Amino acid sequence: MGSVTTRKSSGSTTAAPAKRQRAGSSGSASERRDHLVKLAAEIFARKGFQATTVREIATEAGILSGSLYHHFDSKETIVDEVLSTFLDDLIARYRAALESGSDPRTVLSEMVRIGFGTLEPHRAAITVMQNDWNYLRQFERFNYLVKAEDEVEQMWVAQIKAGQAAGQLRADVDPKLTYRMIRDTIWVAVRWFRPGGRLNTTGLAEHYITVLFDGLATGERTTQKG
């Protein structure tokens, strides 16, 4: 379990183990909570964290705004859950890819696929992270976001360096810089990607992998140095 996961479980004050699951009932306490988090995530994504009122979230859930506080300590606790759920999943997937033992280029391709693969299931969370990161990181409670980001960066940079060492990747690019560009290119796609268009996220990933490794140009590489 990574730092994000760890923090989250201690942070969710109401994270009760599904108590006395009511027979025939459609959801436990934690399911209700998860449902609310998903609703909120959609609105946060659409309007931005600050512009979203707790009343909107509550109304969307069919309850009164005060009732939300039966489930969450604060509005921030809700985004917190949105973001950490995404990061937990992402980091878990990255780890699995790293443990495959494949060569660096293959691992990196897989990591690109993982990234694009989160675009649909975690669309709302990624959107929030893109748009409200700058605001949220001001608060101490979101320090773990920076830590998770660092952990991910190290995974990528290590693979890029390994690829250079193995001669698979050109040696004249800066690993950290390259990582950042890849990262941004993937996540920012959330702003315009809509399921049902010409390409699905798999297609997007393959398209990007192509350009990323072989470039846009035709013919021989002109700038190769390493």
Can you give the C-alpha Rg of the chain in angstroms?
20
Q: Is the distance from CB of 43 to CB of 129 less than 8 angstroms? A: no
Least distance (Å) between residue 60 CB and DNA:
12
* The only residue of 32, 38, 93, 105 in contact with a copy of itself, by rule CB under 8 A: 105
Backbone dihedral region for residue 23 (phi beyond 0: left; psi -120 to 50: alpha; all else: beta): beta
Q: Which residues within the stretch 36-75 sit at the binding site for a copy of itself (CB under 8 A)? A: 47-48, 50-51
Q: Is 13 in the site for DNA (CB under 7 A)?
A: no
Rounded distance, CA 31 to CA 15, Å? 10
Of 14-22, 122-130, 169-177, 201-209, the window that binds DNA (rule: CB under 7 A) is: 14-22
Rounded distance, CA 209 to CA 203, Å? 10
The token duo for 192 is 């315009």
Q: Which residues within the stretch 138-197 sit at the binding site for a copy of itself (CB under 8 A)? A: 138, 163, 167-170, 172-174, 177-178, 180-181, 184-185, 188-189, 191-192
Rounded distance, CA 25 to CA 22, Å? 5
DSSP line for 106-146: HHHHHHHHHHHHHTTTTHHHHHHHHHHHHHHTTSGGGHHHH
Rounded distance, CA 209 to CA 215, Å? 9
Q: How many residues bind a copy of itself (CB under 8 A)?
A: 50
* The only residue of 11, 38, 54, 183 in contact with DNA, by rule CB under 7 A: 54
115 binding partner (options DNA, a copy of itself, none; Cβ < 5 to 8 Å by kind)? none
Nearer to DNA, 65 or 200 (CB): 65
Least distance (Å) between residue 178 CB and a copy of itself:
7
Rounded distance, CA 206 to CA 13, Å? 41
- Interface with a copy of itself by CB under 8 A: which residues? 47-48, 50-51, 105, 127, 131-135, 138, 163, 167-170, 172-174, 177-178, 180-181, 184-185, 188-189, 191-192, 198-199, 204, 207-218, 221-224, 226
Query: Residue numbers of the site for DNA (CB under 7 A)?
Result: 14, 16, 18-20, 22, 29, 32, 52-55, 63-71, 73-76
